[in-house]
């Protein structure tokens, strides 16, 4: 016999009185909430040296972990990881700058300043922050909406010709991108200061994955113009993606063959190189920088073959060396981009914290969600001052950082140094790089996001509601663009929660034989209902949206329609009143008749005795007796006297409907209810009142403290309804109702066998 079986057979005994809420309150002394609040408030505002140091170190985590940095263990891994990730930043930063509709060099700026800020204030050791495709395409939708090409058309020498002012357009778009990035950073800072990190809980995993998939579709469509060498019209607002695809299809006849060939060759080369790199990853500790090799080769080929002049292939163009001075954001533009900035703040934070928590769970450390908001907020707000666009973390770069031995934020700082070297010395060498190559790099890097379509099949098997959220998020984001699509997707996700609370599972509970365990009778064959007692439970909380359905389900499950029963009772009561009124009227007539007969009898008696009869003006009922014709004429011999009869009062009891068998008691298991609003309290009041009028006692069990407080504030309790109807468990309520409302009830559990006793 093993220990587990022995533990199961050890006899045990529990013996106590059945306790209602009043009895529990008598044994416990409740803490004064005002004193607790005052104590906590005073304790929180007290400033001590250790507390100030702890707050400061939590705000600047670098000062906490850098002095304890294990140089020998982590230095080599962080160095190799930082160089590898920095090399990845070069092609991705330039490519994602095209998504943001700004010159490629600003993608490199966005891969430098924000990384340094996050190195100081971030708490995740493994995520690689910087440019990200979804954030870039959201920035691009703002820049192209507020600075379209049509606003920068300059009349040419001919009457009907116009030229595009590319320099002016790019300068304006850079200003817009930096301003919206600065504003999104301010939003993240404010949310972090007010400890609003839990906002990410509204971004479920299916929603985030579907949103990134839909954003990837936007990214692919936005890059088609660079792959085909065409210039489609810019559309904004809902259905803009559909209009853009139609426009691209209409312009396919104007495709630049040289650009298309460059794009196809680059895509095929990247896919093949990545497959070879994956195979060689088992033998080579450092991943092959496929993207870097691709842009170097493409730049050399473009320069040698002069693709720009000979074949009309569009290239990156001028890449200035050095860093730029900070510039104040355009305050006049803030009002037109508030919604976009908030969407950027939420999406960027949601993606970063989701990935950060994955790595933190894997490597056993903690990521502070509120500090992450502050770190990303500072990265974006400071980066916005240096003409950067909004950043988040990249899954591909993070995986490379982890796989190459990165163990701390030092790897991110080293990657920023690599970008700095490129900006100062190497950046201008890539001016001949074709934009079609950058578009191809984006396509290949989006493979992982496209594979997320497989979530539909897996979610269909595991949770169909999450599958619906996934599909609707993708559809809404594709149709309404990333900004409006995010808001619509979150609203739909919250609606599914509301629908689940409106459509809970209602059950009648029965007892597992020999135990104090209660389970739904429809789920188990062994579970038996207790005669005369109905135990009702809902799987969701009780509030205004499902209060009416709660009552309907209670009537249906218990088989007692109280409204119909009370209506039947009122009809019986009216019938009883009518019969009583009729009986009273008949009794009145009989009383008159007896009075009249008594008067006649007295007259006859007087004549028989030779006395003068005495007549009274009224009978004993207070009214004049009505005499017959013989009485009026004094014909005494014709008078007859009838013996009075006893008159019984008719009483009709409220017999119930013969088709309805009323239980003795109904127990409402409120353990799933975590809050009650005013409608919920009134619903419980009505249930107690209606069943009480029908002669059925109602008990409540499993009420949480907040539910009881809501009932107290909602005037549920009064002189007739006290806390004696509340019980901590279903079993207490069952025992109490079984023993004729006797409080002196004990139950004993011996070796898993249930025995009810009355002490």
Q: Which of 307-321, 555-569, 686-700 has the lowest mean pLDDT?
A: 555-569
Q: Which CATH number fits domain 506-562+660-740: 3.30.750.24, 2.30.30.240, 3.40.50.300, 3.40.50.2300?
A: 3.30.750.24
Assess whether pLDDT exceeds 50 at residue 348: yes
The more confidently predicted of residues 654 and 513 is 513
Rounded mean pLDDT, 663-678? 90
**Rounded to whole angstroms, how far apart are CA atoms 241 and 249?**
12
Residue 467: per-residue pLDDT = 93
**Rounded to whole angstroms, how far apart are CA atoms 218 and 478?**
7
> Look-up: residue for tokens 């450092």?
286
Confidence of residue 185 (pLDDT cuts 50, 70, 90): very high
**Rounded to whole angstroms, how far apart are CA atoms 576 and 580?**
6
> Look-up: residue for tokens 């160089």?
83
Rounded mean pLDDT, 407-427? 89
User: Left if phi > 0, otherwise alpha if psi is -120 to 50, otherwise beta: which for 534?
Assistant: beta
Assess whether pLDDT exceeds 90 at residue 354: no
Per-residue three-class SS string for 211-277: HHHHHHHHHHHHHHHHHHCCCCCCCCCCCHHHHHHHHHHHCHHHCCHHHHHHHHHHHHHHHHHHHHH
583 Cβ neighbours under 8 A, 6+ residues apart: 647, 648, 649, 650
Residue 586: per-residue pLDDT = 82
3-class SS of residue 15 = strand
Cα 64 from chain centroid (whole Å): 35
Where are the chain's structural domains? 71-154+164-453, 506-562+660-740
Selection from 256-270, 392-406, 726-740 with the highest mean pLDDT: 256-270
Instruction: Yes or no: say if 221 and 241 are a contact pair by the CB < 8 Å rule.
Output: yes
In this structure, how many other beta carbons lie within 10 angstroms of the beta carbon of residue 721? 16
Q: Which of 374-388, 537-551, 614-628, 726-740 has the lowest mean pLDDT?
A: 614-628
**Rounded to whole angstroms, how far apart are CA atoms 674 and 585?**
58
Q: What are phi and psi of 112, to 5 degrees?
A: -115, -65
Which of 423, 439, 428, 430 lies closest to 299 in space, CA to CA? Answer: 430
Residue 15: per-residue pLDDT = 72
Tell me the C-alpha to C-alpha distance, in Å, between residue 282 and each of 79, 187, 287: 20, 43, 10
Give the pairing of strands 533-538 and 518-520: unpaired
Assess whether pLDDT exceeds 90 at residue 382: yes
Helix (H) or strand (E) holding 130: strand 129-130
**Rounded to whole angstroms, how far apart are CA atoms 615 and 599?**
8
Residue 411: per-residue pLDDT = 92
Instruction: Yes or no: say if 676 and 707 are a contact pair by the CB < 8 Å rule.
Output: yes
List 323's β-bridge partners, or say none.
Answer: none
Residue 651: per-residue pLDDT = 39
List 155's β-bridge partners, or say none.
Answer: 162
Instruction: Yes or no: say if 140 and 244 are a contact pair by the CB < 8 Å rule.
Output: no
Assess whether pLDDT exceeds 70 at residue 276: yes
Which tens digit of pLDDT belongs to each residue from 611-631?
Answer: 655 555 554 444 445 444 444
**Rounded to whole angstroms, how far apart are CA atoms 354 and 347?**
11
Per-residue three-class SS string for 701-746: ECCCHHHHHHHHHCCCCCCCCCHHHEECCHHHHHHHHHCCCCCCEE
Which tens digit of pLDDT belongs to each residue from 233-245?
Answer: 877 778 888 999 9
Which of 366, 641, 670 lies closest to 537 in space, CA to CA? Answer: 670
Helix (H) or strand (E) holding 193: helix 166-193
- Burial-class residue 245 by CB neighbours within 10 Å (0-12, 13-18, 19+): middle
Q: Which of 28-32, 48-52, 112-116 has the lowest mean pLDDT?
A: 28-32
Cα 637 from chain centroid (whole Å): 99
Residue 524: per-residue pLDDT = 87
Confidence of residue 325 (pLDDT cuts 50, 70, 90): confident
Rounded mean pLDDT, 101-130? 92
């Amino acid at each position: 016999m093993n220990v587990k079986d022995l533990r199961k057979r050890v006899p045990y005994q529990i013996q106590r009185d059945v306790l209602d809420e009043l009895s529990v309150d008598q044994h416990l002394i409740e803490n004064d909430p005002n004193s607790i609040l005052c104590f906590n408030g005073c304790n929180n505002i007290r400033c001590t040296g250790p507390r100030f140091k702890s707050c400061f170190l939590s705000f600047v985590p670098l000062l906490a972990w850098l002095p304890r940095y294990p140089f020998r263990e982590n230095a080599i891994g962080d160095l190799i990881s930082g160089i590898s990730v920095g090399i990845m930043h070069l092609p991705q930063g330039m490519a994602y700058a095209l998504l943001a509709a700004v010159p490629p060099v600003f993608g490199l700026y966005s891969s430098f300043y924000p990384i340094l800020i996050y190195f100081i204030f971030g708490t995740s050791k493994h995520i690689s922050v910087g440019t990200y495709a979804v954030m870039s395409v959201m920035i691009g939708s703002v820049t192209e909406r507020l600075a379209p090409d049509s606003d920068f058309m300059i009349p040419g020498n001919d009457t009907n010709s116009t030229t595009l002012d590319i320099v002016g357009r790019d300068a304006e778009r850079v200003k817009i991108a930096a301003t919206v990035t600065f504003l999104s950073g301010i939003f993240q800072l404010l949310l972090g200061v007010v400890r609003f990190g839990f906002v990410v809980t509204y971004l479920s995993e299916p929603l985030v994955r579907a949103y990134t998939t839909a954003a990837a579709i936007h990214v692919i469509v936005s890059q088609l113009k660079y792959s085909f060498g065409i210039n489609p019209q810019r559309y904004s607002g809902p259905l803009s993606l559909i209009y853009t695809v139609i426009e691209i299809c209409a312009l396919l006849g104007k495709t630049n063959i040289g650009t298309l060939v460059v794009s196809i060759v680059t895509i095929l080369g990247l896919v093949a190189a990545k497959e070879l790199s994956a195979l060689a990853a088992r033998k080579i500790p450092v991943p092959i920088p496929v993207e870097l090799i691709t842009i170097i080769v493409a730049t050399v080929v473009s320069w040698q073959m002069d693709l720009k002049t000979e074949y009309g292939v569009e290239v990156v163009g001028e890449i200035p060396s050095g860093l730029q001075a900070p510039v104040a954001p355009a305050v006049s533009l803030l009002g037109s981009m508030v919604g976009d900035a908030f969407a950027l703040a939420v999406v960027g934070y949601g993606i970063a914290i989701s990935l950060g928590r994955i790595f933190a769970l894997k490597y056993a450390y903690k990521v502070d969600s509120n500090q992450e908001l502050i770190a990303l907020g500072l990265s974006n707000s400071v980066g916005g001052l240096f003409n950067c666009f909004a950043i988040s973390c990249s899954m591909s770069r993070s995986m490379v950082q982890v796989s190459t031995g990165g163990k701390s934020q030092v790897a991110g700082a080293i990657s920023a140094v690599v970008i700095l070297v490129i900006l100062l010395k190497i950046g201008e060498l890539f001016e001949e790089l074709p934009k079609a190559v950058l578009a191809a790099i984006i396509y290949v890097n989006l493979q992982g996001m496209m594979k997320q379509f497989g979530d539909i099949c897996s979610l269909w098997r595991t949770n169909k509601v999450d599958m619906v959220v996934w599909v609707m998020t993708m559809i809404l984001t594709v149709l309404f663009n990333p900004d409006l699509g995010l808001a619509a997707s979150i609203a739909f996700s919250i609606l599914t929660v509301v629908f689940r609370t409106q459509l809970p599972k209602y059950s009648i509970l029965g007892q597992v034989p020999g135990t104090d365990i209660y389970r739904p009778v429809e789920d188990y064959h062994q579970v038996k209902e207790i005669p005369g007692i109905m135990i009702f439970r809902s799987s969701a909380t009780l509030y205004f949206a499902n209060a009416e359905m709660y009552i309907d389900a209670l009537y249906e499950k218990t088989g007692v329609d109280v409204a119909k029963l009370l209506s039947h009772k009122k009809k019986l009561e009216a019938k009883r009143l009518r019969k009583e009124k009729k009986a009273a009227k008949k009794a009145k007539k009989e009383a008159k008749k007896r009075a009249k007969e008594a008067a006649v009898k007295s007259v006859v008696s007087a004549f028989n005795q030779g006395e003068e009869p005495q007549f009274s003006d009224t009978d004993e009922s207070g009214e004049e007796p009505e005499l017959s014709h013989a009485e009026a004429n004094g014909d005494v011999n014709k008078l007859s006297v009838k013996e009075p009869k006893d008159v019984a009062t008719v009483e009709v009891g409220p017999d119930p409907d013969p088709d309805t068998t009323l239980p003795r008691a109904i127990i409402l298991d409120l353990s799933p209810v975590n809050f009650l609003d005013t409608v919920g309290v009134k619903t419980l009041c009505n249930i107690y009142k209606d069943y009480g009028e029908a002669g059925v006692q109602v008990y409540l069990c499993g009420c949480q403290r907040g539910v009881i407080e809501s009932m107290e504030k909602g005037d549920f309790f009064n002189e007739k309804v006290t806390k004696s109807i509340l019980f901590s468990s279903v079993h207490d309520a069952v025992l109490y109702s079984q023993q004729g409302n006797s409080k002196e009830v004990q139950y004993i559990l011996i070796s898993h066998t249930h025995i009810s006793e009355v002490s």
